[in-house]
Amino acid sequence: MKYLTELSSEEKEFFEAVRDFARREVEPLVRKMDEKGETERSLIPKFYDMGLMGVEIPEKYGGAGASFFMAILAVEAMSQIDPSMGVLIDVQNTLVNNAFLRWGSPELKEKYLPQLATRKVGSYCLSESSSGSDAFSLKCRAIKKGDRYILNGHKLWITNAAEAEIFIVMANLNPEAGYKGITAFVVERDFPGFRVSKKEDKLGIRASSTCELVFEDCEVPLENLLGEEGKGYKVAIETLNEGRIGIAAQMLGLAEAALAHAIAYTKQRVQFGKPVASFQGMQFQLAQMATYVETARLMVYNAARMKDAGVNFVKEAAMAKYHASEVAEKVASLAVECFGGYGFTKDYPVEKLYRDAKIGKIYEGTSFMQLATIAKIILEDRL
């Protein structure tokens, strides 16, 4: 009997290879990156060498040609070591690469997928100061002028922006049409009129860059249209459906790490002459944490398998993202308590995991938005 969380030999080998790589290359830098609030740039070429930045990109473009599920495993494994690096590879794979694969013209794929697979980081740019959950109220504008589009406006809270060289940008080409005027464009870092501005100083996932983008008469060639004019809302929605599974995987990896640290610590921490783990109260707390983690793993893997199977996974993606982010916050909080006073210090890893967990309920669709999606779908289903 094959269980939902059971991995094939290839999947297990890949997961363990990514985790071992992260332990060897990333873990020694985690605290330094968190304190500095930036990614160690020397890691990025290593991510490419490991094939982590183009998991689903076909081999003919220089990618691994693997499944969406494998990309999710990479995010989970990396996030066990550092959720900041987990989201870096997550955005690259589940948002940027997927958008090109699904919506890019043959020419765009030929031009950009080899770059994304081998050397250039991508970024996905939707949010603005006035359009967070209400993503389609965006103010960034585009007009067609001769042989190019001209973009004007700002984007906020853009992940990977400091490292990225290729940006997928949503702007409204026809404001009178409302959300049906939203269009997706491919912008390169050195395009005239485009710049990466303020970098946010964040509570958690501090090594993951989150920046403001500024477009001042930014010139975009006509051929850099991603999808069709006025179909950007479709690109955004369908890409984010997949991205939510990636964030769920990030939160799963974080929760798994918090649980592992808690188990290890309570086994060696002695109070009243016995390891703390020998006390029933602590055992029950660890058992609760383990149960939370397992439910999150089941939901994340199920949503990813459904996506690869080509069946409708929107509800399951929203559920996985909602639940995994709740689990990450809860398990990380309990892990801090397992460590007692030490858990509240930066000398132990659970303090950072607790800070990192909070963003899971906010980005790529808040928990309220996931609940709204789930409710809409279940109320439309025939019982």
Give the pLDDT confidence of 330-374 residue by residue, as tens digits: 999 999 999 999 999 999 999 999 999 999 999 999 999 999 999
- For position 1, what pLDDT does the model report? 44
Confidence of residue 47 (pLDDT cuts 50, 70, 90): very high
155 within domain boundaries? yes
Cβ atoms within 10 A of the Cβ of 341, count?
Answer: 7
Same domain, 161 and 199: yes
SS3 label, residue 76 = helix
352 within domain boundaries? yes
Using the predicted structure, report yes or no on whether residue 122 has a pLDDT greater than 90: yes
Q: Name residue, tokens 């029933």.
A: 280
4 within domain boundaries? no
Q: Is 364 a catalytic residue?
A: yes
Tokens of 187: 């912008």
Domain that holds residue 272: 233-380
Overall number of domains in the chain: 3
For residue range 253-281, list pLDDT tens digits in order: 999 999 999 999 999 999 999 999 999 99
Same domain, 83 and 70: yes
Q: Which of 67, 99, 121 is the last residue of a domain?
A: 121
Q: What is the rounded average pLDDT of the residues 95-113?
A: 98
Using the predicted structure, report yes or no on whether residue 148 has a pLDDT greater than 60: yes
- For position 60, what pLDDT does the model report? 98
Helix H or strand E segment including 370: helix 367-380
Q: What is the pTM of this model?
A: 0.97
SS3 label, residue 219 = strand
For residue range 6-22, list pLDDT tens digits in order: 899 999 999 999 999 99
Strand partners, 141: 152, 172
2 within domain boundaries? no
Using the predicted structure, report yes or no on whether residue 2 has a pLDDT greater than 70: no
Same domain, 24 and 104: yes
183 within domain boundaries? yes
Same domain, 147 and 246: no
CATH of residue 100's domain is 1.10.540.10
177 within domain boundaries? yes
- For position 383, what pLDDT does the model report? 53
Q: Which of 90, 121, 152 is the last residue of a domain?
A: 121
- For position 382, what pLDDT does the model report? 60
Task: Quickly list H helices, 104-182.
Answer: 106-118
Same domain, 22 and 116: yes
Same domain, 114 and 161: no
Q: Which of 59, 316, 364, 380 is catalytic?
A: 364
Tokens of 211: 């920046």
Q: What is the rounded average pLDDT of the residues 143-149?
A: 97
Using the predicted structure, report yes or no on whether residue 3 has a pLDDT greater than 80: no
Q: Which of 121, 142, 159 is the last residue of a domain?
A: 121
Q: What is the rounded average pLDDT of the residues 149-171?
A: 98
Same domain, 92 and 109: yes
1 within domain boundaries? no
For residue range 202-255, list pLDDT tens digits in order: 999 999 999 999 999 999 999 999 999 999 999 999 999 999 999 999 999 999
- For position 136, what pLDDT does the model report? 78
Same domain, 133 and 30: no
Same domain, 356 and 278: yes
297 within domain boundaries? yes
Same domain, 372 and 253: yes
Same domain, 144 and 117: no
Helix H or strand E segment including 141: strand 141-145
The answer to whether the beta carbons of residues 270 and 366 sit under 8 Å apart is: no
- For position 4, what pLDDT does the model report? 77
CATH of residue 201's domain is 2.40.110.10
Same domain, 142 and 225: yes
